[in-house]
Each structure stands twice: as C-alpha cells, then as structure tokens.
A and B are shown apart, each in its own frame.
Chain A
Amino acid sequence: MYQYNQDDQTLINERVAQFRSQTERFLKGELDADQFRALRLMNGLYIQIHAPMLRVAIPYGLLSSTQLRKLAHIARKYDKGYCHFTTRQNVQYNWPKLEEVPDILAELAEVQMHAIQTSGNCMRNTTSDHLAGICKDEIEDPRPYCEIIRQWTTLHPEFAYLPRKFKIAVSGALHDRAATQFHDIGLHLVKNEQGETGFKVFVGGGLGRTPVIGQVIRPYLEKRHLLSYLEAILRIYNLFGRRDNKYKARIKILVKEEGLEKFKSLVDEEWHHIKDGMELSDERIHEMQAHFVLPHYDNSASIDSTFPNHLESDNAFATWVKHNTVEHKVPGYRAAFVSLKAPDEPPGDITDSQLEVVADLADRFSFGEVRSTHRQNLVFADVKQADLFDLWQQLNKTKMATPNIGTATDIICCPGLDFCSLANAGSIGITREINETLDNLDYLHDLGDIKINISGCMNGCAHQSVGHIGILGVDKKGEEWYQITLGGSSENEAAIGDRLGPSVPKDQIAQAVAAILDVYVKNRIEDESFLDMVKRAGLTPFKKQVYANH
C-alpha cells in the first residue's frame, strides 16, 4: 500500500498543529461557534447528541495492521472501547472529548492517518472497490489513481468551501462494488477501441434526500487528463453550484437544472484552458503503481488438500467459506470477509480487542493488510486457502465470523437516534429486531443476495434508496414510523427503490420485512434473485401482503 514520503508526513503533522491551534482558540473564545464549525468539520469533527463524533479517513479502504492497532489504542484511550465503520470506508469514534481531538489526530499522524476532509463542504475521502487488485473481473487496479486523487483533493486551496460536500469513487472492475453511480463523480476504468485504459466519467450521482443516478459526462478520458478534468468539473461546480438552499446545493442539482449538455459544455470549455498545464505523466503514474505491486504469492498455494478436507468435514466452516469468502485471481487464494454484522451488535461496530485480533490475523494470513468495505465489513484480501480454516476459527472466537455477507442480515445501518442529532428513528434497534426475525441461518441462506439498508432520516447515510429493501425512519407527530422502498441497487444496474406504500409504525416494521421476504420465497421462479423478482412482479404482491391487515 501507499507509504508516505517526507512531504506527506510533514503535511499531516502541520495539519495537526493547525487544528490544535484552532481548537485552543475556540476554547478561549477567539473563534465563534460558526467559524469553528467550518474548520472542525474539515477535520472530521461533528458535535452530536452525546459528544463530538470524529470521522477518520481510510483512503479507499486500505489499512495496515499497524494502523489497526492504532485505531484500537485510540478506541481504548480516548473513546469507549469501540469504533464504527461507515459506508464510505471510513471509521468513526462516537465519544471523543473535544479538547483531546488534537491528540488523537497526532496519534493518527504517527501511522500515516488523518481526518482531513472527512466532513464539511469539501472534497471527501476517495472510495473504491474493496476487491481492488485481486478480483478476476478487473481491468486495472484503481488504487494508484485513488491515491493520486487523494493527494490532489487534500487541502486543495480553491475547493475547500464548495456549495456542499463532494464525493469521488473509482472502480477498476466490470462489476461496480463502489456505488460509483451514486457519487458526485464516479470513475470507471475502461478500455477504448485501441485497447488503452482510461476513465469513463459519471457526474451528478448521489443519495440523500434526492437520490439521482450519475450520468456519463465523458465515455472515455485519457489517464493523463484525469486531474485536469476533475479540476474543471470542480471549478464549474464551485462557481455555479447553488448556495441559496443547502438541499439543492449538491452537483446533482446543478447538472439537473442546467441539463447534462449545458453542464458538459461549461466543463469542456474550462477543461480546454487547463488540460495542457496539468497533465499526469506516465512516470508519475508508474511511480504510484509501484506502491501497489502485488504481494509475493505462493505459487503452490492451490496444491493443498487440507482445505477441501475441512470443507468436507466441517459444515459450519463450509457455510462460512460459501458466504464470507470470494474468489481471488491467484489460484489457491481467497478473499475473506470479517463480518461486522453479528446479530446482537450495531452494524459496522468493532471493539478495540477485535481490532487487535484483526491486526494479528492480517499479519499472519494476509500480508499485514485489511480493507474496509462499502457495506461496513472488513476483508482480508489475500488469504491462502490452507489458512482459511485457522482464520475462520479465530474469527469465530471473536464474533466476527457470522456467515451473513451479502445476506439479509448484512444490513447497512446508520447510527440513528442512538447517536445522531439529525435522526428521526432508532435504526440500530430496528436492525436488531430484523435480525431476531431472521435467526434461522438456513432460511437466511436460502433467501440469497438481499441488501437491506436502514437510514434514520432523509439524509440517507445508510443509502436506503438503493437497498434492495430500503427502510427510512420518518417522524410522525413525535413517533417513529418507517417508509419502505423495494428494488434499489447501487451496482451496475443502478436503480432507486420504489416506495411500497404508506409508512408503517415501529412495532410493525420487522414483521413487514418478514412479510416481504415471505412473498419473495413464495413467488420466486427457480433461483431468481430477490431483485429480479421485484423487477418481474412489481410491487403489487408485496403490497398485498404488507398491508393485508390495513
């Protein structure tokens, strides 16, 4: 993975010093609340119900075991012994003390980490495919480009006070695992007719209150123009994005109001002026690629009989392998997920001791690295098949081997009322109730690939509008109600879910989900997936069942 050079390190050290001074001046009353708000947000610091919340950047989801141990140490020393992985591959602490945040940032800087631009109206952490570099369907490893973008976005002087937040995601594979079409800019590595690799550029996608699928603004962008094209889009957005209404300030609204053609012509004109001055050289790209060379795989990893034997003899292990591991481009290796979706724990949460277990397992079994995923789990990317049994046993002991990756209990969920001052609903509690109704593993596995996303409010942090089943908390005269959507997807066939009908009260939402799954089981044709069945049959059969008693 990318290792900081002296300049990278100097920059984050100087950022810590800057934020320390800003915090001190705020506490002395020399900065007012509004001024400090803008400054602290750009360092990932929110003020929430109980305490500040600090969001730490994990660039494109890559973490070393050293960094994991530091996250564990911070959880133990400055927080309540746990932290939370987000849908944008970052990590959040829910209980830091404001005056200790500069110290936390200094500790992070020791292991090449920071909280820069994890919040605020600026360019956020660049996200990517958690299977980058190892999946079979990859055109090119996106990570070198992610790091190039990370550096370009970091402390960009002109684009720190945008109309609204701005998110970029990059995918290098045929299968989009990074929800790129729901980002302000989505980049897909593609090949042109000459067989050269470049980027297909999507713009104006986004979730939240107004979910929009990104549109293709440029079907093929040469790599050397990557940064100039991004800069052109950002300059047009910064100059013309709406600032009169924060709910209409994202780039998706600008693209919609101007129309794609007009927006594209503005961008192209800007780009024309700057593209020659900002070319990415082949040398720079190669230099960056050298940071992401593949580890030294064992060529004989597939010559091993223990793995098939364990699969044969241990059902629980075989089930875990089936659901929580995926194939690797190198024979004899697999990628293994760490499920952060144990039935009785808030989705995405991990304790300090679990983090340390993951760090040790990464060192033993996966070249000292782990990745965070868009669905709030972790993944060891490079595990030898012969090591999987041992790995599974260790994960099992520490409640990180629930065999539910990609199933209906692999729920994406926001912190909800328990932590967030915006929330209308206790999404964590709802997740727990759904888990209780789906406690039969055979039934869960029979349901197959079902993505349930639960957000506690319109802001949609848990991407409910692209859940196969989306659940949105709404407030009705001080009571928690839930709106259900079906048929959303953040993958290649991007779709925004359709609303099933009137919202249901809190005590009926788990039953409603059970009813929806029941309709699917009874109506699916052969091995038709949930999403395919919804597409084929529409909402009617689901409506009948869910609202049967109303």
Chain B
Amino acid sequence: MQIIKDRNIIEDSWQFIADEHPLLPGDCTVTLERWLKEKEQLLRHDGKVGVRIESTDNLEILSGDLALIPLVEVNFVIFSDGRAFSKAWLLKNRYQFTGEIRAVGNFLADQIFYLSRSGFNAFNFEGNQNLTLALSMLNDFSVSYQKPANQF
C-alpha cells in the first residue's frame, strides 16, 4: 500500500487492528482504548505499535505515553470534522510529539496543505486517490500568514 510521508510517496505496511482481533505480525496501530488497557502486552509485540486517535478522543490521557509510540494516526470519519487539525497541532506543540502524525480515513487531497501546516506529516488516503496529484497539493501555497505547527 502506498502513502505520502515526509513529501514522498512510499510503500507502507502499518495495519490497523480492530479491538476484537489479535495483533498481526509487523507494525500495527490500535485504538486509544486498547492501548490504555493493554499497554504492557502491546509493548512486547515484535513489530512497532502505534495508536489511532478518533476526533472525540482526549489526547491528554495519551500524553504520558507518547515517548513509547512511534506513530499516532488521526482518523477522519468525515472530512469536515476539523477537530483532527487541532489534535495534530496539540500533539506537535503541546505534547512535543516527535513521531509520525498520520491522517487516515475520509479526508481530501485538497486538505493536505492545511493538514501538513497543522502538524501531519503522513497521509493514508481511503479509496483510489491519485497520490502524485495529492503530493503536488502540498505546494498549493508558497506563503502563509500563520506559523507552521512545529514553530511555536
């Protein structure tokens, strides 16, 4: 599966594991709820383990664990739910998260510039998004009135 990460199109093998299923070999993401419940066990997994955040999740309860997590993915149920933008901003600034912040779910290529300015550095589109086009949209604007999320 291809995604955009750090302004490149790359092959990616992270897989999201729903709560009722056991982890699969390789790199996996789990829900925040599962992470909080099974943290010890999950950390013994062979591959890396990341956490999927929903727009309704409270980031603060994850803040103490961020050093243990290489990836946080923020899920869009619908592209118009702007909470994800603030979640990414908070991860990057308030919680100084240095790992990967990945947008997943129902978001648009046309949002990629704003997403990137808010702190996301990886994008896993649903469906058949043309990734070359999406990549080019990271350069829609060469100027901005606001500081990027990592410069506060």
Interface set of A (CB-CB < 8 Å, partner B): 7, 10-11, 14-15, 17-18, 22, 31, 35, 38-39, 121, 151-152, 154-163, 235, 238-239, 243, 273-274, 277-278
Contact = CB atoms under 8 A, between A and B. Distances in A.
A408 B143 CA distance: 47
Given A157-B85, A158-B118, A239-B86, A151 B145 contact: yes
B86 A235 contact: yes
Contacts of B144: 11, 155, 157
19 contacts: A11-B141, A18-B110, A35-B79, A35-B110, A121-B82, A151-B145, A155-B141, A155-B144, A157-B146, A158-B89, A159-B85, A160-B82, A160-B111, A161-B80, A161-B111, A162-B82, A238-B85, A239-B83, A278-B152
Contacts of B132: none
Interface of B: 79-83, 85-86, 89, 94, 108, 110-111, 113-118, 140-146, 149, 152
- Please name the 3 residue pairs, one residue from A and one from B, whose CB atoms are nearest each other, closest first: A161-B82, A157-B117, A157-B114
Given A11-B143, A154-B145, A274-B152, A238 B83 contact: yes
A10 B145 CA distance: 12
B130 to A, nearest CB: 8
Contacts of A274: 152
A527 to B, nearest CB: 49
A464 B143 CA distance: 40
**Secondary structure type dominating chain A contacts:** helix
A10 B86 contact: no
A157 B152 CA distance: 14
A121 to B, nearest CB: 7
Contact of B141 (A14, A22, A39, A277): A14
B133 to A, nearest CB: 9
Nearest to B148: A157
Contacts of B116: 157
Contact of A121 (B80, B118, B146): B80
A366 B121 CA distance: 51
A152 B146 contact: yes
A238 B88 CA distance: 13
B85 to A, nearest CB: 5
Given A35-B110, A157-B118, A18 B140 contact: yes
A38 B80 contact: yes
B81 A160 contact: no
Contact of B81 (A11, A154, A243, A278): A243
A7 B113 CA distance: 17
B86 A158 contact: yes
Nearest to A227: B146
A157 B144 CA distance: 9
A158 B85 contact: yes
Given A121-B80, A239-B83, A10 B94 contact: no
